Amino acid sequence: MRPCSDVFCHYLVSSGPTSFYSAASHLSSKQSRSRLGPPVPVEVMEELDQLADLALGHFHLVSSTPKVSAGGDEISFGSQAYARCMVYNNTYRRSPEFLWRLARAIYLVLDEAIGEEDTSAILGDPECQSDISSSSSRLYDPHNLNDLAYESISRRQFVETGLGVARRALYLAKYAENRGENGTPDAKSWADIYKWLAVMVGLASDFVGMQQRITYGCEFKDLIDKSIEYNSEDAFSHFLRGRWSYHVYNLSWVERQFAARLFATPPTATIEEAVKDFEEVERIRPSFYAANQLYLAKCYISLSDYRGAAIWLHKAKQLLDQNRTPPPHLDTNEVQTEISLLVAKYSGYF
């Protein structure tokens, strides 16, 4: 068995077997793939960051109303961020500073319909093929008549592309650092590179079997730990690590036994570790994530502190009542439903 500490990410769902290719496989790529592109101008990074911040609910501007398409539909900030990334893709596709921002944009539009004309630029890029796409599925081909019959690509294919982009960002960042070249990321960018790769690894685990899911869980934890080492003031990273700890703490006996057969050290985490990260989120961004307050309540329920749970549930419901539900937005409906159910169950303790 291979040694591995604090593995597994229970909230990820498996759906089929695949082979695992670690970041090391990318480090052994051909030299031609190691060539860095031109640096991303500050104004381009600021443009993409502002759109992403608006999509993530980090701040609100007077002029922050989403654009309207020619057909009269609103274009979300996440879609705008992705569209702008497509404009810059050919020029900066070999820059780690651009690639991690592209991975973030892919995350922001995962639940939206993306047409083939929007995605073909990166889906056909062999340098951004992901672990699962290279081994268990075919990438979307805009020149294939069968593919052209569909107006949008599947969620799985989009996640695969995002994972490949995020791995490429880390590879090029390490390449620049090792060679002492211009374009080496600063501490904040390293944190973002590791964070968005962790996010994509987590999302990719939706489409792999149990063994691969455990391996991805181990990688996820390592990546998010590194991200927090570079930037300990990122609330979203603490939320992700806290959620990981909470679900590992709640692994079933069967899941623990399965993991123990694969690794010398089974997955371990305490509810106190989860609480610590969730409390860090509240310190950094108080009353911002309804999902974070929900998980704090669930932690207190696990500790049989029902009054403490009721207090956090009340706070989370207040955020929902104010329609303040920023990401983690991919499971917003589930968060709302669970808060409502738990409030009804534990309101008597408030």
Rounded to whole angstroms, the Cα distance separating 162 from 128 reads 8
Q: Is residue 186 part of a domain?
A: yes
pLDDT of residue 15: 31
pLDDT of residue 325: 58
Q: Is residue 70 part of a domain?
A: yes
Highest mean pLDDT out of 4-8, 143-147, 157-161, 163-167: 163-167
Tell me which residue range forms the domain holding 79: 18-207
pLDDT of residue 313: 97
Model confidence band, residue 174 (pLDDT cutoffs 50, 70, 90) = very high
pLDDT of residue 256: 82
75 strand-pairing partners:
67
The number of distinct structural domains making up the chain is 1
The shares of helix, strand and coil residues in the chain, as percent rounded to the nearest 5, are 65, 0, 35
pLDDT per residue as tens digits for the range 298-350:
999 999 999 999 999 999 999 888 876 555 555 677 888 999 999 999 988 87
pLDDT of residue 306: 97
Model confidence band, residue 264 (pLDDT cutoffs 50, 70, 90) = confident
Any residues with CB less than 8 A from the CB of 125 and at least 6 apart, and which? 93, 164
- More confident: 85 or 150: 85
Provide the percentage of residues in the chain whose pLDDT is more than 90. Answer: 49
- Give the residue-averaged pLDDT of 48-57: 91
Q: Is residue 58 part of a domain?
A: yes
Q: By C-alpha distance, which of 85, 78, 82 is closest to 53?
A: 78
Residue identified by tokens 């860090």 is: 280
Model confidence band, residue 65 (pLDDT cutoffs 50, 70, 90) = low
Q: Is residue 102 part of a domain?
A: yes
Predicted confidence (pLDDT) at residue 99 exceeds the cutoff of 60? yes
Highest mean pLDDT out of 75-79, 147-151, 300-304, 335-339: 300-304
Any residues with CB less than 8 A from the CB of 12 and at least 6 apart, and which? 202, 205, 206, 213, 216, 217
Predicted confidence (pLDDT) at residue 12 exceeds the cutoff of 50? no
Predicted confidence (pLDDT) at residue 21 exceeds the cutoff of 50? no
pLDDT of residue 169: 97
Instruction: Compute the chain's Rg from CA coordinates.
Output: 20
Q: Is residue 240 part of a domain?
A: no
- Give the residue-averaged pLDDT of 154-172: 93
Q: Is residue 238 part of a domain?
A: no
Q: Is residue 273 part of a domain?
A: no
Q: Is residue 79 part of a domain?
A: yes
pLDDT per residue as tens digits for the range 297-307:
999 999 999 99
Mean residue pLDDT of the chain comes to 78
Highest mean pLDDT out of 97-111, 178-192, 321-335: 97-111
Strands (E), 63-166: 67-68, 74-75
pLDDT of residue 56: 85
Asked whether the beta carbons of 130 and 161 are under 8 A apart, the reply is yes
